[in-house]
Structure 1
């Protein structure tokens, strides 16, 4: 985003200076050069400065981008403009030189949006990451959050699954809170968002700023502890009215599948499961063991992954943008339509987004801006809350079901449709996945309406008043209906459905006064004071009913349900009132100071701690402006920054400080009446979680800024963590929420940008960012050393001196083999050797998972005290790497993101390598590497030596080789990955080619996302975290597979 006023003033100065230079040096060159200068889109650039190198002769482009200049035939011309890459061209007797200028990767005069104000990048004193619209322009995505992974150092973005509306977890500089929300504050055009980035179309984005430390976030007070993301949409500008139409069409496809058993191997496994030691058993539903290959030839059976996720659906986007205006009134209107069919059957997404920006100069000193938006999204398909179990159920479903039935008849087919295989007693054991997915209606609707009115009034030359009022309304509804035949309907005796509806109102208004002046041409002062108020309201209602006699109306007629459940309602409200101030001071353009202070009062906290105060300060030294640094001829830019500050976290649930009551039945006179009792004890002293941050940063430039680097070292100490603390039983309660814990994050961030090649025809720009973050728990409640947590029965531990996200369980030691036992030929039983460890209460046999004795006890028994840390979901480092190439009108971009050193608990393997459960399919690797008691002919092996030889390469447990309910280390995997995230190739047509159709710009492109992932992880995708919290991340319990997307698109402007 550029400072238009500054540009206009600079342009005027350039014109005056160049006119004077040109007049004084008019006769210095006899050779006349003419030309035209445009940007990558073919638009003329006004005010480009052209200088004859080595002289004071210059010129400037006019409103059409044209110029003329006199020079010698062998001169060199240097072209420069704010925000564009400077270029030097040899004249070589050419009388006409046209030039295409490209956006500069590092523009020190670029304007960065901060809290309640803007500043030039060169004047920043704190760490701020930026993403421009050009970095996102060709990436096909309906959710802006999905496009941010790897784009900014210090910002970790994890998409929970491949669902159309999957949850995206954004974490800036590590998790700070243990029990509360770690999501950053998101502000869109000055409006705080209560729904993340859901309501914004990616094509509407102009820029994104990420505020990382307390010096930049403290101005937001109690909302800024987790960082701040500021999104600025495409604004109004003075120009002739133009209409831009953009679209893309493409296809999506599942990027990965898991290998499960085909019909033949599945039946072999079923024989092992069902016959025990009886080698002569014939199973009616599968025939004889000897006939398996004949009945089930190789590759036979149903591939349920292919049938449920094997389609290649269409995705498309259409956008119309109308921009125009004069010096008085400017406008920008856009409409975007997204349609995306899901790769899973019976799923899809549709969204309409409308955005309006209006800017009017009511008078010389009064400016009024209006920003409003409307978003309506509807998604069909299973939600994340139940997707994990559903994915596992689909993978487990037996491949023998329905192998002779046409695919379009799967819904009504019996579980096994080969006559000799049908076993009526098992028909209802599981439900066909296609039947489940097809008989479910799960629609999630979201409507978001925003409106913002901003008034700027110039009270004097140096004082500006700004007032803003912003409103957001969100309406969310989730309609679920399970028709006859769905497993959820069968389990409750008939069709059932539910409606969950909620709406929220959020009102924010603020007023600021700013004073700016330069004293004695050396002292640049900017003072800002302000006030802000926030009102948030939330209401919800849910209804459910079952045993619908008619499924045609679904949840549209909830009264039809025979067995209704009691409705549930929620209503909450919170308010906050704030005062804030900021001082920016520069001395001689070299020495910079920023200081902020904010006071917040909110209803969320206890009566004794309603107000919190959050100061911060930052200093910077622009060392490049010192003569002794310039004389080194080493740097083209050098700035040193240091900041320190405190911010708070009010992103917590309402009413935590108050006593909570619940309705309870009480017996009176042999009858039951309802009364209210205290369900949770409040704490009137409850206060903010506080982040204290220190940051040391360096901004470096080399070779005329062809190579730039930013390095930030930071430490964030979080205190007053909200944790449940034990209290005496005499109080009648067991615990109360208190501010008693603390954590620490330390890290280093690198941002490196390089213009590897930069000339008139070809350019190559590379950008790399990396973040190293180390998290540690400093203290817990009541002096405790640790506490445990679970996610889908997977164990985690929070321990002082250790990072968050540690997986906690039993360290495995392979499997028991015959070498661990003595075998009695007389009793035909195995006896464990006396020196071999065993889990207490378990009678092991060869093939059972073997655990390590870790508590250093004298006995060989393994108990819960032998559990240890078996994995850490936090990466050692993560980041992104991009390359952009341009040749004339052709451009190409390649973007990669990566993560290294994090662990994932593979819950899919945990479920599908357990071979015990009959009628369930398993992973092929678990089957082929299992410990076996039957040979290839299906004969039970009794000979010890033969059994040992048969299993010499076995690495996975036998059929009954796992104890259910344990967290085993062998399912913890390395989640490191390198992903080729996106490759885009585009071509912008020359203006002279498209003038015949009255167009000013035409660009076509092809873009492919999620192309390939290099990883050792054995699951569908390493970038996953189901039902994650700060203490239980890194779990894959069967996430929806991610898709690979390829699109072809165009942008046409008239």
Structure 2
């Protein structure tokens, strides 16, 4: 199994296989001359598993003349029978075999070399052996991402590393996914996103990267590992390294998959319109109103029984707006190779996703090229070029700007008595029942059509990074780089409208003209980023002390431009010119820019591979803050003790391979609290008198705060790394305490400031405490190799300084000192008033205090009775209580299982969260019957009625959106914990003795399923999405192919 884990190193060290053979060939003995023979053999590890990619050389000649294939086989032609062959592979002790005259087949067993097997991990500006790490770093290899139908790298991270919370918040279409990543929870009241660094460059989103280009991902979680990035590392750092060239013959690789997407879950809505009308009538009666629908209309629909669906529709909106399935294509072609002088990797990728919802299609072309050239033994240069172009129909102008998908949310805000579209006439339908016509004519199918952009949104990104590396003397490496990153998005909408019709047995009848005002609207967004950097690193040894000194500086500049314009009343909606609009709208534009200069350094000490010390320091100066507050300094120090290397541990060396204790402390910064020192926000347009006339101008309306500066995070981390039983069982355990200070908040205004708006101040503080672990087991039973991994992270979040006794309440969320960020704050339900005894109890409350229900309405039969939580004898907003631990899960976890047998491989990834509450009053999950909106069958079937007073889960449904049973209460607070099968896959690699006949180096086919199942008590579409609507969570069934030449 071990050699599979080392495949990335093979790509670096591999060479062209000079000669390889099949099993039959290796059992043949062919004598070329009296002096030479053909030698064949098999290279295996101590468990008898083939070692793939072992290098074979002859005698003292370092030239590699053969490489073992996927079955561990190799063959050597024209070899003298008394030669000595050498076999080497990373992670194993080299083996030397003296050939025996007359013997042509050999079995070579390689022993593990624990000193070489240690994993290399990418850290800030460097790589380190995992055994030498003093900080908390999680590493994710490309193997964890392979053979999955991934079009977005962010989706891949969930469940793969402890302390990492990946959330798909839904609402947006392919290419505009709303996803967030948190490292060790939400550490601030402002931007909590981690810094993403891709091949040493910032300013590129993780979702911009082709997952097939990724070689490794490192998550830097503590101050020791992150401090080298200073002011942007308070929320953690995610380092992505893409695939590089290798010293080998050119290898052409194609990897592709086709996925069939279906909606992971649908709500069970009331789609029988006759039932829908009866429920609505009951809701009106319960609210003291007359029923709207006549028995005659109800009978008409019921008697038709679906024979005329255009005239008497029972529309299941979810069935109509979702594709079933959506077929997604993902293709990648790469060329990798090189020599000692030049190494290259070129990758082309293509994605086509029609979208689960109509008119949300997405298409993307992407290209990446990594080139390294050794000009001299002491000088090398390189280029990293990356770019993509994508086209997307975001379904609405809101979605194009990051908002909800109208079509998706429309499925839960439309009645079943509407015909979407009549293919026979090409007309769009409205409400088919005249008794409801003036209540709702919202046809999301039609509305989606007129919000559909005539021209798709286009996004472009171009990135170029040039670098040079100089090694003038032994141990000294000087590197310089320049990076340029350009991003552009162009959005255009032509808004037109369609008429709506009622379809009758006698033909269509116009019920609503398309009166939406036509317009052409354009948005242009541009971002330009450039940076230059120079670093120097010097490694030297003094006796048993290994020392590494690193220093550098960088300069960055960023400019963001926006332009927007609109014209109304198009002469012809088919015209794409802005001049097609007859009426001027508005034209706006803006830009902002920032610059940063940084100095940073690191020093590492390693004494005898036992005692490790690392210190980092970064100084950042940012134009986002006022002069005098621009510079921030972020130091860290960490140490580790490799206990297993001590002499007194020698007796344990047979079973304990590694035991290391780590500790770190440091400070980090966050400059994402404000965009650009808020000069502009201090002013607003205002009129003034000039020469007796009113003139327009600017006036300062907000008080300035020149003291604004960085948020600072101070973190302590203690960790333990271990490996035992010949490294079969290994893991890491970490505990941490993270304090963020100087958080930007708004404090109450002193009275002497009058009505002026008080500026934000660096006054808030948040504490995160937690622990996390990663455990792994790798072993073999007979011919089956297997691995098991589990990880878990727990974080407790608390605001330690805010506004004193003053809390911030935003809807159902509350933030205050001593509590988590955005804790749920709602009134609680005492009971459903089910019978006369409950009514008598309600009366007793009124008897004690006539104003008991002054704030909330007095309940009647079937209604919620809310709890007087503070016991003051009346029911009001002071009876709201805090629930849960904020809007981020306290516990995240993942588990993976992999196995291989012969040429088959199997893997499954589970992922989930716990201790997580969500407020869910959306998507028709309401205890009301609102006219013109959908109803959930579970609620209508299990609500209180006079016929079902005792077995109901839900209260009486009243036809009132603001009714007494729809108040923000714990009835809408749900346990959003879940356990999900994130991915399951099965692959088969075609034997080499078959593929080599077709000049194929490697051929693998596989099938996988993403989001196979989710176990949860959450009643909505997806606990990860919560109350958001729009674009649904999907399940993917994929088949794929990987082939190399």
TM-score (norm: length of structure 2): 0.85
Partner of 1:805: 822
Residues 101 and 1009 of structure 1: is their aligned pair in 2 closer, same or farther, counting only changes over 3 Å? farther
Instruction: Kindly indicate whether the alpha-carbon contact (under 8 Å) linking 1:439 and 1:484 is maintained by their aligned counterparts in 2.
Output: yes
Structure 1 residue 730 displacement after superposition:
3.9
Partner of 2:902: 888
Q: What is the distance in 1 between the residues matched to 2:254 and 2:109?
A: 23
Pick from 237, 244, 254: which aligns with 1:245?
254
Residues 655 and 726 of structure 1: is their aligned pair in 2 closer, same or farther, counting only changes over 3 Å? farther
RMSD, matched Cα: 3.7
Partner of 1:226: 235
Tell me if 1:270 matches 2:280.
Answer: yes
Structure 1 residue 97 displacement after superposition:
6.2
Structure 1 residue 708 displacement after superposition:
0.4
Residues 997 and 99 of structure 1: is their aligned pair in 2 closer, same or farther, counting only changes over 3 Å? farther
Q: What is the distance in 1 between the residues matched to 2:141 and 2:424?
A: 47
Pick from 174, 183, 198: which aligns with 1:188?
198
- How far does the alpha carbon of each residue in 1:356-382 deviate from its partner, in whole angstroms, 9 at most, with x for none? 111101111001011010111222133
Tell me if 1:119 matches 2:119.
Answer: no
Partner of 2:609: 589
Structure 1 residue 295 displacement after superposition:
4.3
Structure 1 residue 962 displacement after superposition:
6.3
Q: What is the distance in 1 between the residues matched to 2:971 and 2:877?
A: 17
Show the 5 A alignment for 1:345-744. 345-382=358-395, 384=399, 385-387=402-404, 391-402=408-419, 406=422, 412-416=428-432, 421-423=433-435, 426=437, 429-442=440-453, 443-485=456-498, 493-520=516-543, 522-553=544-575, 556-632=576-652, 633-658=654-679, 660-666=682-688, 671-731=693-753, 733-744=756-767
Q: What is the distance in 1 between the residues matched to 2:519 and 2:669?
A: 44
Structure 1 residue 668 displacement after superposition:
5.0
Q: What is the distance in 1 between the residues matched to 2:676 and 2:916?
A: 36
Consecutive unaligned residues of structure 2, counting only runs of 5 or more, are 1-5, 15-37, 77-84, 96-102, 501-511
Partner of 1:1045: 1036
Residues 358 and 277 of structure 1: is their aligned pair in 2 closer, same or farther, counting only changes over 3 Å? closer
Pick from 773, 782, 804: which aligns with 1:750?
773
Structure 1 residue 204 displacement after superposition:
0.7
Q: What is the distance in 1 between the residues matched to 2:1016 and 2:57?
A: 49
Q: What is the distance in 2 between the residues matched to 1:387 and 1:668?
A: 45
Partner of 2:336: 323
Q: What is the distance in 2 between the residues matched to 1:777 and 1:223?
A: 21
Q: Secondary structure at the match of 1:680?
A: coil
Residues 367 and 175 of structure 1: is their aligned pair in 2 closer, same or farther, counting only changes over 3 Å? same
Residues 261 and 238 of structure 1: is their aligned pair in 2 closer, same or farther, counting only changes over 3 Å? same
Q: What is the distance in 2 between the residues matched to 1:103 and 1:477?
A: 56
Pick from 869, 873, 878: which aligns with 1:854?
869
- How far does the alpha carbon of each residue in 1:453-482 deviate from its partner, in whole angstroms, 9 at most, with x for none? 111101211211111111111112233343
Structure 1 residue 387 displacement after superposition:
2.1
Partner of 2:159: 150
Q: What is the distance in 2 between the residues matched to 1:340 and 1:323?
A: 27
Partner of 2:54: 46
Structure 1 residue 328 displacement after superposition:
0.9
Instruction: Kindly indicate whether the alpha-carbon contact (under 8 Å) linking 2:282 and 2:291 is maintained by their aligned counterparts in 1.
Output: no
Q: Secondary structure at the match of 1:958?
A: coil
- How far does the alpha carbon of each residue in 1:729-787 deviate from its partner, in whole angstroms, 9 at most, with x for none? 5445232111111111111111011014266x320111111101111111014x34521
Residues 787 and 290 of structure 1: is their aligned pair in 2 closer, same or farther, counting only changes over 3 Å? same
Residues 954 and 237 of structure 1: is their aligned pair in 2 closer, same or farther, counting only changes over 3 Å? closer
Q: What is the distance in 1 between the residues matched to 2:477 and 2:942?
A: 73
Show the 5 A alignment for 1:806-825. 806-819=823-836
Structure 1 residue 568 displacement after superposition:
2.0
Pick from 907, 914, 920: which aligns with 2:933?
920
Partner of 2:147: 138
Partner of 1:1028: none
TM-score (norm: length of structure 1): 0.85
- How far does the alpha carbon of each residue in 1:889-910 deviate from its partner, in whole angstroms, 9 at most, with x for none? 111111111111101111325x
Q: What is the distance in 2 between the residues matched to 1:84 and 1:317?
A: 37
Q: What is the distance in 2 between the residues matched to 1:211 and 1:345?
A: 40
Q: What is the distance in 1 between the residues matched to 2:906 and 2:677?
A: 52
Q: What is the distance in 1 between the residues matched to 2:662 and 2:606?
A: 13
Aligned pairs, number: 962
Q: What is the distance in 1 between the residues matched to 2:178 and 2:113?
A: 34
Moved more, 607-616 or 262-271: 262-271
Q: Secondary structure at the match of 2:197?
A: strand
Partner of 1:36: 42
Q: Secondary structure at the match of 1:437?
A: helix
Q: Secondary structure at the match of 1:118?
A: strand
Consecutive unaligned residues of structure 1, counting only runs of 5 or more, are 9-31, 51-58, 70-76, 88-93, 824-828, 933-946, 1025-1034
Residues 642 and 408 of structure 1: is their aligned pair in 2 closer, same or farther, counting only changes over 3 Å? farther
Q: What is the distance in 2 between the residues matched to 1:817 and 1:595?
A: 67
Instruction: Kindly indicate whether the alpha-carbon contact (under 8 Å) linking 1:441 and 1:479 is maintained by their aligned counterparts in 2.
Output: no
Residues 346 and 621 of structure 1: is their aligned pair in 2 closer, same or farther, counting only changes over 3 Å? same
Structure 1 residue 445 displacement after superposition:
2.6
Partner of 1:979: 980
Structure 1 residue 665 displacement after superposition:
2.8
- How far does the alpha carbon of each residue in 1:945-966 deviate from its partner, in whole angstroms, 9 at most, with x for none? xx47656536323214763684
Pick from 170, 195, 199: which aligns with 2:181?
170
Q: Secondary structure at the match of 1:439?
A: helix
Q: Secondary structure at the match of 2:461?
A: strand
Q: What is the distance in 1 between the residues matched to 2:127 and 2:577?
A: 53
Residues 6 and 435 of structure 1: is their aligned pair in 2 closer, same or farther, counting only changes over 3 Å? closer
Q: Secondary structure at the match of 1:1045?
A: strand
Partner of 2:509: none
Moved more, 582-591 or 960-969: 960-969
Q: What is the distance in 2 between the residues matched to 1:1007 and 1:100?
A: 35
Q: What is the distance in 2 between the residues matched to 1:966 and 1:594?
A: 55
Structure 1 residue 231 displacement after superposition:
0.6
Residues 505 and 1039 of structure 1: is their aligned pair in 2 closer, same or farther, counting only changes over 3 Å? same
Q: Secondary structure at the match of 1:589?
A: coil
Partner of 1:11: none
Structure 1 residue 1001 displacement after superposition:
1.1
Pick from 767, 779, 788: which aligns with 2:809?
788
Structure 1 residue 255 displacement after superposition:
1.1
